Amino acid sequence: MSAAIKPVRPFGDFLRVLIAPAIWFAHFSLVYAAEALICIGPPADQATMMGWIAVLVTAAALTGLIILAARLLRSGNTAPSRSDRSEAWLRRTSLLLTLLSALGVVWTTLPTAVLPACAL
Amino acid sequence: MADATSNYPNKLPRPRGELAELETIWAVPKSWRIVTSVNNTTIGYFYVGTALLFFLLAGILALLMRLQLAVPSNTFLSQETYNQIFTMHGTVMMFLFAVPVVEAMGILLLPQMLGARDQPFPRLGAFAFWAYFVGGLIFFSTLFFDLAPSGGWFMYPPLTSSQFSPGMGADFWLLGIGFIEISAIAGAIEIIVGVLRTRAPGMTLDRMPMFAWTMLIFAGMIVFAFPAVILATMLLELERAFDWPFFIAARGGDALLWQHLFWFFGHPEVYIIFLPAAGMVSMIVPAMSGTPLVGYRFVVVALIATGFFSFGLWVHHMFTTGIPALSLSFFSAASMAVALPSGIQVFAWIATIASGRLRLVTPSLFVLGFLFIFTLGGLTGVMVAMVPFDWQVHDTYFVVAHFHYVLVGGMVFPLFAAFYYWAPAFSRRALSERLGRWTFWLMFAGFNIAFFPMHISGLMGMPRRVYTYPAVMGWDILNLISTIGAVLFAAGVGLFLIDLIRNLRPSVANAAGNIWKAGTLEWLPNDVYGPRSIPIVTSADPLWDQPRLADDVEAGRYYLPGSGTGRRETIVTSPIEASSQYLLRLPGPGWTPLLAAIFTAAFFMLLTAKAITLALICGVLAVAMILVWMWDSDPAPHRAVDIGGGITLPTYASGSLSHSWWAMIVLLLVAGSLYLAYVFSYLYLWTVSPQFWPKPAALAPAASPVLPAFLLVAGSAILVAAGRGLPRNAQGRRNFEILTVLAAVALVAALISEVSAQWQSGLRPETNIHGALVAMAAFLQAQMTLAALVMAGFAVARSIGGRLDCERRVVFDNLGLLYHYTVGQSLLGLLLVHGFPRLAA
């Protein structure tokens, strides 16, 4: 046991775990808000606009998640030393959440492929 | 460390008198003075006991309802009484039992489980409890004076508007619940900071007990979910009291806004209740199976994912409100997706049971009952997540059956498992195994007999909230069966009470002890100050991996075996690795939390009764009590303390190292969430009634926000300058005080400038929704300005009293956070109310 007080890992390292589910939530909020706004516009453009927005927002969210996963995998290539146990744990937890969030993004977007925008 | 017996932080024998001093410092006040206690065990006992009291009261209301519905055309209760009873049953169960009991368990268990001496803010914890206790009792007593609300636990307008619900019932709900939410948020702040900053050294995040994980996520969800309903209650109360038309369609409001705000809180609320219960199960299952939890990381992932996904489900309570099908499908998809993380947890528990050998004792029975009932509730949850099915069963007894399977199965059964499981850690005697088995079977059978038939009566078309029904509907037999089941369930609860009376003898120092041979720290020999010495944690189940740990901790071999400063104290550690950072000195017993809670309750209740002057006096007294307790809560730095193992800890920390800074950040997240809920409301109502937004010519002049914006930014700059010149001597002190007062004046001037510009433009809040929303922005700005003003005054007073300087600066750091946040929120408000109408036009 060390007698000195060691420098500590910043709390931001923990907050990074939340990035992937936050991306899912942002995606979810954007597609929902987009439909609400599109539906007060001219009916002729509604379906096309919703389709494009869904594609763009989903592509952006998935790109963000893929970049996140790639960074996590790359930082994991160097085997963690014993003192980095916490970091390895946080990284693997983040990876699992990234995977789950990606599933959530795809699953939430699916209805836009089969349902018309603004129909009651 | 487990085998390093020669390398303990402290050597034996310990100095004579060390333990006696610890016991004296942490002594619980005797007799009636116990109400001044702030220690987590005393407050925890009170808290759990009060929550159980409300569970019983709400349960009696449920029995009254079941008696009324047992036979058709019954006249046992009148329609209005029945309406009040079902409203109070739901409200009390959700707001006065389910959330508080979870916080209560957190306050009771977490310090011991984390190896801390107490919560980081004992007075805040005491305030949270007393606020809940006093406010809850007053709120419940409205039933006896025919003043209880009757609009259902979710209080939908327009039914609850002043037009359709005159009288004070709805006001009691709105202000009473608002008050209890303050208590919940205070508890959440305590829990977040406690879990992140007071864990025993070595208890890294991956070694943290699963209950602590769930409480952390629970508290985080409260921070983001509760502000939405706080805003909703503010809007409805302002509409009822001052005719600001937020929910009145004729003037541009929309009743659906209430549903959006309420369910943005209400759906996460289900998980707010469920996750800690799942945490309890994740503690009980490994202990009873004698093996570590299978898939620890997967369970943590599931908890975090559930926390996030639960915020994407709120519209699934609104499938019948005419929202476009595609929007419904987003929420339908999210509602199904949340089953995935929930399923991960269920499989982890089953795998743990399979990998060990489950002892079939009472806690295990309740856990198995939970798995059975909650899984059924989850399955009907997936059914109602499908929009067409929900259209058929919405507002029928099918939904009543579904949410009782989820809530009672997912929360009450784990809670009873927890009572039986943890009783030996907090009572001289364990609860009776024989009575426990009877309790379980009566509750399990009673629950299923009561609620399973409701699926069928719901499918047969029986609507919710009807006080009676004619015999020709064919619902009578099913309702009679449900009533018999409810009586059986109540008999089980009654038996549990008998067990409590016979066997529960609250004590931490002489508790029955680790009869389950569990592996986590709350099973160490504890006292009101937690363990004698603070252990070094090397695994998720330290008592299993370090067989001598209990003896060594009790002997005082680990950190801080006595008091380093002659006061109550606990070790503050870093949030990820739990490395020791500083020694936090904690306050002892005092009257201020109790008095602050009483005056806060009086403020809200007198406001409801329209006794404005008296209410304001009580409000001022409540703030005064809080300031009195704050006066001593930032003691001057003390010499560094050797806690053992060569570690010497400072006794003071400021900036982001300070636990107090963390609490302020969490509080600001609450304020930010509330303001975002307001921004959502503003934009939502614009999409509903854009015709009520005036043309740019009718708005306040485009240049009018320049002055308040300048004042806000200047105020921030002045406060930064004040911080740089924090006093080292008398001259510096005077400069600091002048600058802080100037900054406060700038904030007030900005508010006055904005309000007068809007007023001069002819804007009136009661005219239409635009006016009401602009006034609401000013109201929220005024609220934060007032808070910053009080805090600035407090900082100046401390400076004058010689209690604030460049080293002892926590109060100023917190003022800075609050001030700059207020400036940010106010600037966003100016941008919204001046910029958006011009942009939209």
| CB hemisphere CA count around A45 (13 angstroms) | 9
Give the three-class secondary structure for B29. Answer: coil
Alpha carbon of B625: minimum distance to chain A alpha carbons (Å): 33
Number of CB atoms found within 10 A of residue B355's CB: 14
State whether residue B295 sits within 8 Å of chain A by CB. no
Position A39 scores a pLDDT of 86
CA-based torsion, B594, B597, B602, B603: positive or negative = positive
Question: Is A90 touching B (CB cutoff 8 A)?
Answer: yes
Residue B618 CB neighbour total at 10 angstroms:
21
Compare CB distances from B330 to A13, A103, A108 and report the shortest one's residue: A108
B418 touches chain A (CB under 8 A): no
> Residue A10: is its pLDDT beyond 90?
no
**Which residue, among B112, B124, B120, has the nearest Cα to B200 in the 3D structure?**
B112
* DSSP letter, residue A6: P
Residue with tokens 């008998």: B498
Instruction: Give residue A87's pLDDT.
Output: 85
Q: How far is residue B516's CA from residue B433's CA, in Å, rounded to a whole number?
A: 13
Are B750 and B826 in contact, with CB atoms under 8 Å apart? yes
Chain B residues touching A120 at Cβ < 8 A: 322, 324-325
pLDDT at B4: 43
Q: Which residue has the tokens 């400072």?
A: B650
> What does the block give as tokens for B473?
């509907």
- Walking along chain B (841 residues) 10 residues at a time, the average pLDDT comes out as 64 94 96 96 97 98 98 96 96 96 96 97 95 93 93 94 93 86 92 97 96 97 96 96 96 96 93 95 97 96 94 88 88 86 93 96 98 93 90 96 96 98 97 98 98 98 96 96 98 98 95 96 96 96 95 96 95 94 96 95 89 95 95 91 95 94 97 97 95 94 96 98 81 89 98 97 96 98 97 96 92 97 98 95 83
For residues A14 and B585, is the Cβ–Cβ distance under 8 A? no
Tokens of B777: 């922005």
| B642 backbone dihedrals φ, ψ, rounded to 5° | -85, 115
Domains of chain B: 37-503 (1.20.210.10), 678-840 (1.20.120.80)
* CA pair distance B797, B791, nearest whole angstrom: 10
pLDDT at A2: 38
Identify residue B90 by its one-letter amino acid code: G
Q: Which two tokens stand for residue A58?
A: 């989903």
Q: What integer pLDDT is reported at residue B609 of this predicted model?
A: 86
Tell me, what's the pLDDT at A40? 82
Instruction: Judge residue B674's burial from the number of C-beta atoms within 10 Å of its C-beta, 0-12 exposed, 13-18 middle, 19 or more buried.
Output: buried
Query: Which A-chain residues 2-61 have CB contacts (< 8 A) with chain B?
Result: 3-6, 8-9, 11, 13-14, 17-18, 21-22, 24-25, 28, 31-32, 35-37, 39-40, 50
Cβ neighbours of residue B125 under 8 Å, at least 6 residues apart?
B38, B40, B43, B107, B119, B186, B187, B190
Chain A: nearest CA to B659, how far in angstroms? Answer: 13
Whether the CB-CB separation of B445 and B488 falls below 8 Å is answered with: yes
Q: CA geometry: angle at B401 spanning B399 and B404, to 5°?
A: 105
Q: Is the pLDDT of residue A120 over 80?
A: no
Which among A3, A97, A119 is the nearest to B325, CB-wise?
A119
Report the pLDDT value the prediction gives residue B725, as an integer from 0 to 100. Answer: 82
The residue with greater pLDDT, B630 or A76, is B630
Write the residue in A37, A96, A103 that is nearest to B687 by C-beta.
Answer: A37
Retrieve residue B362's tokens.
Answer: 């009472």
Contacts with B315 (C-beta within 8 Å, 6 or more apart), sequence order: B260, B263, B323, B327, B328, B330, B331
Q: Which residues of A touch B205 (CB under 8 A)?
A: 14, 86, 89-90
Q: Do A118 and B324 touch (CB under 8 A)?
A: yes
Taking contacts as CB-CB distances below 8 angstroms, the residues of chain A near B311 are 25
- Is B327 near chain A, with CB under 8 Å? yes
Q: Under an 8 A CB cutoff, do B204 and A18 touch?
A: no
CA pair distance B836, B683, nearest whole angstrom: 9
> What's the complex ipTM?
0.91
**Which residue has 């702040």 as its token pair?**
B189
Please tell me whether the peptide bond between B341 and the residue prior to it is cis, using omega within 30 degrees of 0: no
Residue identified by tokens 């919940």 is B184
A11–B308 CB contact, under 8 Å? no
Q: Give the span between the Cα atoms of B826 and B83, in whole angstroms.
A: 41
Subunit contact A111:B332, Cβ cutoff 8 A:
yes
Q: Do A8 and B329 touch (CB under 8 A)?
A: no
A76 pLDDT more than 80: no
Give the residue on A whose Cα is nearest the Cα of B306.
A21
Three-state SS at B527: strand
B205 interface with A at CB cutoff 8 Å: yes
Distance between CA B436 and CA B496 in Å, rounded?
7
Model pLDDT, residue B67: 98
Is pLDDT at A4 greater than 60 in this prediction? Answer: no
